Structure 1
């Protein structure tokens, strides 16, 4: 039945579905997992790296985490070439707002603006939806720390904890069970690593298969985005009992 309705983005099936959007969501379901957790003193993002190689320069290249502005970052699941276009669009919008109003762009306004762009690609013929989902983490003076999730349809929602990518349903149910209000940033990191270790396709969890980033306020009150180094990440995995310490030679 779908064959008659999936050739065009603009054609609804009799059930009111847009199959092209659903196909884009399927692409995301096969991508590496990403988890975002909102805490009282920051936002934690953890992602599963699908591309692992000793030849990769991990200190300069990231697969899952991207900084959009000084106060906003995102985790990605889906087709990375699509994500790069949208991330560049978001960066330009944030800089235009800062240039015009001399202050950082509110997080939700930035997310909504980007989702308007994504939604446009679901309603015009000759285009296809972006096959990528985002977890946006940020801080602004209006609402403090915020976590948003968006999908290819252009929908976005605010979350306390959310998961995208492969096995996101299992991760979401674990987060629902273990998340508690007023969680600290350290507890959020522990919860994110625990959930990812149980839902990832990989049998063993190591620092080269993960990326961890945090958005928080520095002691001076400035918003800071920080990506965890592989060495620190290894120590955290051992500290929280996710992996066993390597025996010294």
Structure 2
């Protein structure tokens, strides 16, 4: 039945659905999981790296985490080619605001501007929606630390904890059960790894399969974004009994 209504982005089905947007969300559901958690002293982002070949050089590049501006970073789930276009667009918008007003762009204003672009691709013929969802982590002087999630329709919202990508219902259920309002970023990082391990449907994971990043304030008041090193990630996984055991050489 849907084939009569899914040939154009602008055609609604009798139920009021846009099938092309739903197809984009389906593409995200097959991508690696990503989780964002808002803590009282920062924001944690975690993502699953799906290694397609052992020949790929992954140690010097990130697949799931991207820095947009000094005070904003994001985690991605979906088609990476689409994500790269939107991330570059967000970076340009952030720099234009800084150039014009001599201060960092508010987090929600940046997210809303990017979502306006995403929504435009759902209402004009000859275009298709971007098959990517984002978790934005940021800080501004108006609202402090923030976590926002956006989907291919252009919809967005502020969240205390959210998951996107594969096994999203499992991640959301676990976050609802274990999230606490007064969590520190260290506790949030531990929860994020537990949720990612459940989303990956495995009890043992290695640093090569994960990315973990945090955004927090330095004592000087400067916003700092940093990605956990493989060594730090290994120690955290061992603490949580999630580390993959080293294979014995016979």
SS of the equivalent of 1:58 reads coil
- Contact preservation (8 Å) 1:45, 1:212: yes
SS of the equivalent of 1:205 reads coil
SS of the equivalent of 2:62 reads coil
Is structure 2 residue 14 aligned with structure 1 residue 18?
Answer: no
Corresponding position of 2:194: 194
Question: Where in structure 2 are the equivalents of 1:63-82 lying within 5 Å?
Answer: 63-82=63-82
- Contact preservation (8 Å) 1:94, 1:104: yes
Is structure 2 residue 205 aligned with structure 1 residue 205?
Answer: yes
Is structure 2 residue 8 aligned with structure 1 residue 8?
Answer: yes
- Contact preservation (8 Å) 2:76, 2:135: yes
Corresponding position of 1:160: 160
Give the Å deviation of 1:54.
4.0
Q: Please give the TM-score of this superposition, normalised by the length of structure 2.
A: 0.96
> For residues 127 and 35 of structure 1, do their structure 2 counterparts lie closer, same or farther at Cα, with a shift above 3 Å needed?
same
Q: Residues of 2 paired with 1:55 and 1:219: CA distance? A: 41
Greater Cα offset, 232-241 or 194-203? 194-203
- Contact preservation (8 Å) 1:238, 1:245: no
- Contact preservation (8 Å) 1:52, 1:209: no
Q: Residues of 2 paired with 1:247 and 1:151: CA distance? A: 40
- Contact preservation (8 Å) 2:204, 2:244: no
Q: Residues of 2 paired with 1:228 and 1:214: CA distance? A: 8
Question: Where in structure 2 are the equivalents of 1:116-195 lying within 5 Å?
Answer: 116-195=116-195
Question: Where in structure 2 are the equivalents of 1:100-111 lying within 5 Å?
Answer: 100-111=100-111
CA deviation string 1:171-212 (max 9, x = no partner):
100000000111100000010111111221456311100000
SS of the equivalent of 1:211 reads strand
- Contact preservation (8 Å) 1:94, 1:110: yes
- Contact preservation (8 Å) 2:204, 2:245: no
Corresponding position of 1:33: 33
Q: Residues of 2 paired with 1:2 and 1:157: CA distance? A: 29
Give the Å deviation of 1:218.
1.1
> For residues 114 and 79 of structure 1, do their structure 2 counterparts lie closer, same or farther at Cα, with a shift above 3 Å needed?
same
Corresponding position of 2:91: 91
Q: Residues of 2 paired with 1:59 and 1:148: CA distance? A: 27
Residue segments in structure 1 that go unaligned for 5+ positions in a row: none
SS of the equivalent of 1:92 reads helix
How many corresponding residue pairs?
249
Give the Å deviation of 1:230.
1.2
Q: Residues of 2 paired with 1:129 and 1:206: CA distance? A: 34
- Contact preservation (8 Å) 2:9, 2:19: yes
